[in-house]
A and B are shown apart, each in its own frame.
Chain A
Amino acid sequence: MKFKQKTLDNGLTIIGEVNASAVSASVGFFTRTGSRDEMPEVSGVSHFLEHMLFKGTDNLAALEVNEAFDKIGAQFNAFTSWENTVYYAAVLPEYLADVTTLWAKLMRPRLGDDDFNMEKNVIKEEIAMYKDTPQFEVLDQCFSLHFGDHPCGNSVLGTNESIDALTSGQMRDYFNRRYSPGNITVALAGNFEFEKICDLLASACGDWKPQQTDRVRDYFAGTRKKECVVKENLVREHICLISPSVSYQDERVFAASLFGMIVGDDTGSRMFWELVDTAIAETASLQCEAMDGVGVFYSYIRTSPGAADKVMGIVEKIFTDVIKNGVSEDELQKAKNKMLSNITIKNEVPMGRLIELGFNWVYMDKYVAVAEEVKKIKAVTTADVAEIAREFSLMGYSRYSIGPKSR
């Protein structure tokens, strides 16, 4: 594996990890923007804009865009979160130049009114779809509850009302402010020639005008609010808990992730043994989500409405115990083994590696080789984990739950 990096004069950064034995290559345009960068009057614009990039440019119609991707058999998509909008594609190595050129063109979209109005329908269907997916809805609502007035509380999708009210002019304005070359990182992974792709990007993106972009990055430990909402059509209780954690930039991020695994991994964790193994809840998990300047531990639990109080009693006991007593050597070692094995499996596919590579650069402005990551994970001690448990109390949680009846 060889790492390479180049920054164009306008600030666009290109990074690549070359693996000459891979049978595919992937590219991602990591744009440092998401719902936390939105003002209330444009709620949902980051995600809507992600959809609009597929609608083409002044010289490329929407249908031509889709055909161009499909012609080369690209596996491609995009996603928007609270703080990132990522456009990516994986292709056979011979098509990487084509697909990178295509994305580069799409990053300067037409944003036409007809497409904008038609796509509003699709966005509202997506909002409706997630309303029928309680495990998503409960997480989204709990983020808003936990972060309150902090920008990370902004909804990614927005609401039907905010989408209806949004104008294409507002979207263009948002685009001009956020899609500045200095706010975008192009990451590449797999089998490709770095210099060739750099030349291509220099000519495709060299004339993008830089803009000053900023972001509120204040740390926030959360509101600790609790809300319980009744939704008559549900039969299970869906519970989300969010408490503070380290940011992506914090060097204790591996200790926090291992702590999350020990408390709430799908198998073998404390929540697994107390809640799932005993069939009190059918799902109970907890994980660390390190973000830009902030971070959270979040849990999702699904149980029967009648058992919700019992579940919360057990969860609080687990949390209190781990804060007081820390974790054992044995638990930490198991968590490390699982994490290391996950890394091996994920990184074997260029697409898996791409996301890690891109985010490391976006958040920390640096390259972290897999070997270095492995070393850092192995170095975590039970004292490191105990420190995380004490400093970022799981008991300081905000809770949002939906179910058939209130408790």
Chain B
Amino acid sequence: MTKRTEIFRLSNGMTVIGEPMDSVGSVAFDFFLPAGVSVIPQGLCGVSMVIKDWIFRGAGENSSRKLTDKLDSLGLHRGEKVDSKHIIVGAALEAGNITEALNLYADIILRPRLEADQFDFSKQLALAELEGLNDDPRQKTSLKLREHFYPGPLGRSPLGIKNELESLTAEKTAELIGEYFDISRAIFSIAGKYDFEKICTQIETLFGSEKTKSKSPVFETDYTPGYAYEKYDGAQVHIGLMCPTVGPEHESYYDVRVAVAILSGGMSARLFTEVREKRGLCYAIGAGYKCIKEMAGVSCYAGTTPEKAQETYDVIIAEFGRLVAGISEEELARAKAGLKSALVMQSESSSARSINAGNDYHILGRVRSLDEIKEQIENVTIESVMKFLRENPFEKFTVVTIGSKEIKI
């Protein structure tokens, strides 16, 4: 049996989630701050990237240099990320340093210095990062796919849009931080070795007096499939495609996960076998389940030389379509084994546990236990997968290709 998730709600609404783990010496934590790329007003795309850098350039009584020195002295393994709804700031570290680390993070989140000269550096770095995307066509494909698959603000690229980034000012950005770092809607997750009561008391002391500021925005979720091509003189054509499916809250969620694993779970899965093993079309080929709170999809990436691009695309589409013709007992067993084993192995990493707990809570309003997920995977049958696929086949793809040659869709 795995240990139970612990949840505590501060009086102002902020949620604290704990995932206790046996026999580890580390602890990992994440603050989910509701200032992601989709929730910021239009015309400011990319500001979240600037914010996640700027808030670390001095906070509370510490200058930029002093703050980084202190974080480094605690041996923090830092991670900052912008997703659709949140800026996520977190770290993994040796358990003994957690109290001091949380004190510093309270400064970063509540009392960043936001100095104007430092803002210019943050903005320049965000612009450079965006520019650099041109030299990474694979990542560019994945961001463009997201942009075309999700409607409106949900599809926005975390890296931003050039002219919108350029027009940002320190004043406007500081104003947005004040407005969108809404602690009452923030989630704090922690996993590994810690004392939950002590953590809750500290979080309450540090963040408890922050009041509610805003309401969660509501998004349109209309989906339109389509094809977007971008010319790029690289060695490969980069192909991304994605079709809609059900979210984690849906009763057929585990049927989808199994179906995707049959398509692309391991090396014996269908895409790898048909595209790479039998035809030698690609080195990188794979599909995966993707979701945000409002929408979910199955996405697929393949990189191949221009003369093989059309055949690669055709074989991938045929394999997505062929699922509905039936799956075997062996395929089902392998898909389940892969999903369960990945789950158990991920459970050994405090960083993975913390981020998963926070995401689960954001999307489902609760955290699924490892035992629950294992049981649900176990319950999937050929019949349940086939019934789901007949009613909700993988079709109506959004397709993006970047390369020297366009393909026929």
Interface residues of A (CB under 8 A from B): 21-24, 54, 62-63, 66-67, 69-75, 90-92, 118-126, 128-129, 131-134, 232-236, 238, 267-268, 273, 276-279, 281-282, 302-304, 330, 333-334, 337-338, 340-342, 344-345, 348-351
Alpha-carbon distance between A337 and B220 when the two chains are bound, in angstroms: 47
The verdict on A267 contacting B78 (CB below 8 Å), with A132-B137, A132-B138 known, is yes
* Contact status A337-B72, CB under 8 Å: yes
Question: 1/0 contact trace for B69-100 toward A, CB 8 Å?
Answer: 10111111110000000000000111000000
Complex Cα gap A333–B22 (Å): 29
A122-B280, A333-B73 known; A70 vs B125 contact (CB < 8 Å) = no
Q: Which of A63, A71, A122, A282 contacts B282 (CB 8 A)?
A: A122
A62→B94 contact, CB < 8 A: no
From B92, B128, B135, B330, give the contact of A134 (CB < 8 A).
B135
Given contacts A70-B269, A134-B136, A268-B68, 17 further A-B contacts (CB under 8 A): A23-B345, A73-B334, A122-B282, A125-B284, A125-B303, A128-B305, A233-B233, A234-B135, A236-B132, A273-B65, A278-B121, A302-B128, A333-B73, A337-B73, A341-B94, A348-B24, A349-B349
Complex Cα distance A146/B57, Å? 37
Closest A-B pairs by Cβ, 5 of them: A341-B75, A73-B341, A121-B280, A73-B337, A70-B266
* A75 to B345 CA separation, bound complex (whole angstroms): 9
Give chain B's interface residues, CB within 8 Å of chain A.
22-26, 57, 64-65, 68-69, 71-78, 92-94, 120-122, 124-125, 128-129, 131-132, 134-138, 232-236, 238, 265-269, 272-273, 276-278, 280-284, 303-305, 308, 330, 333-334, 337-342, 344-345, 347-351
Please give the distance in Å from A37's CB to the nearest CB on chain B: 23
Instruction: Write out the residue numbers on chain A whose beta carbons fall within 8 Å of the beta carbon of B77.
Output: 338, 341-342, 345
Are A345 and B333 in contact, with the CB atoms below 8 A?
A: no
Which of B75, B124, B236 contacts A340 (CB under 8 A)? Answer: B75
Q: Are B280 and A119 in contact (CB under 8 A)?
A: yes
Knowing A70-B268, A133-B138, A345-B26 touch, does A268 contact B69 (C-beta < 8 A)? Answer: yes
Number of A-B contacts (CB under 8 A): 198
Q: Taking A23-B344, A66-B268, A278-B121 as contacts, is the C-beta distance between A132 and B131 under 8 angstroms? A: no
Using Cβ atoms and an 8 Å threshold, which residues of chain B touch A70?
Answer: 265-269, 334, 337-338
CB closest residue in chain B, given A126: B283
Minimal Cβ-Cβ distance residue in B for A402: B135
Q: Are B345 and A90 in contact (CB under 8 A)?
A: yes
Given that A70-B266, A282-B125 are known contacts, is A345 also in contact with B276, CB under 8 Å in the complex? Answer: no
Q: Which residues of B contact A351 (CB under 8 A)?
A: 345
Residues in B whose Cβ lies below 8 Å from that of A118 = 277-278, 280
Contact of A23 with B348 in the complex, beta carbons under 8 Å? yes
Q: Which residue of A lies closest to B340 (CB)?
A: A73
Contact A125 B236, beta carbon cutoff 8 Å: yes
Which residues of chain B have C-beta atoms less than 8 A from A71's C-beta? 330, 333-334, 337
Q: For the complex, what is the distance from the CA of A21 to the CA of B23, rounded to whole Å?
A: 7
Contacts A23-B348, A66-B277, A348-B25 given; does A337 touch B303 at CB 8 Å? no
Name which of A267, A276, A277, A345 has the most chain B CB atoms within 10 A of its CB. Answer: A345
- The interface centre, meaning the residue of A63, A120, A277 with most chain B CB atoms within 10 A of its CB, is A277
| CB of A270 to closest CB in B, whole Å | 12
Q: Determine whether the beta carbon of A235 is less than 8 Å from that of B267.
A: no
The CA-CA distance from A66 to B333 in the complex, in Å, is 14
A191 to chain B, nearest CB (A): 11
**B348 contacts A132, CB within 8 Å?**
no
Q: Once bound together, how far apart are the Cα atoms of A21 and B348, in whole Å? A: 11
**Which of A75, A124, A340 is close to B94, meaning CB atoms less than 8 Å apart?**
A340
Q: Which of B235, B280, B342 contacts A129 (CB 8 A)?
A: B235
Cα distance A90–B348 in the bound complex, in angstroms: 12
Structural contact, A282 and B132, CB atoms closer than 8 A: yes
Our pick among B129, B265, B334, B348 for the contact of A349 (Cβ within 8 Å) is: B348
* Residues on the B chain within 8 Å of A90, using CB: 345
Q: Which of B78, B136, B283 has the most CB of A within 10 A?
A: B283
CB-defined A-B contacts under 8 Å, sample of 17:
A24-B344, A62-B277, A66-B266, A66-B267, A73-B342, A90-B345, A121-B281, A125-B305, A128-B303, A132-B238, A236-B128, A276-B125, A279-B124, A279-B125, A340-B94, A342-B77, A348-B25
A338 to B71 alpha-carbon distance, docked (Å): 10
* Chain A min CB distance to B6 (Å): 20
User: Quick one: given A92-B341, A234-B134, are A67 and B330 in contact (CB under 8 Å)?
Assistant: yes
Chain A residues, CB < 8 A from B92? 341, 345
Q: Closest approach, in angstroms, between the C-beta of A292 and any C-beta of chain B?
A: 28
Closest Cβ neighbor of A403 among chain B residues: B135
> In whole angstroms, what is the CA distance A31 to B94 when docked?
33
User: A348 contacts B26, CB within 8 Å?
Assistant: yes
B351 — which chain A residues lie within 8 A by C-beta?
Answer: 345
Given contacts A54-B267, A129-B303, contact A236 B131 (CB under 8 A): yes
Chain B residue numbers with a CB within 8 Å of A69 are 266-268
Residues of B within 8 A of A344 (CB): 25-26, 94
Q: Are B76 and A341 in contact (CB under 8 A)?
A: yes
A369→B148 CA distance, assembly (Å): 51
Q: Are B349 and A128 in contact (CB under 8 A)?
A: no
Find chain B residues with CB under 8 A from A235 CB: 131-132, 134-135
B25 contact set on A, CB distance < 8 A: 344, 348
A336 CB, min distance to chain B CBs, angstroms? 9
CB-based contact B341/A91 at 8 Å: yes
With a CB–CB cut-off of 8 A, which chain A residues contact B235? 128-129, 131-132
Q: How far is the CA of A140 from the CA of B354 in the complex (A)?
A: 36
Interface centre among B68, B92, B235 (most CB of A within 10 A): B235
* Cα separation A282 to B124 with both chains bound (whole Å): 9
A282-B129 contact, Cβ under 8 Å, with A21-B23, A233-B233: yes
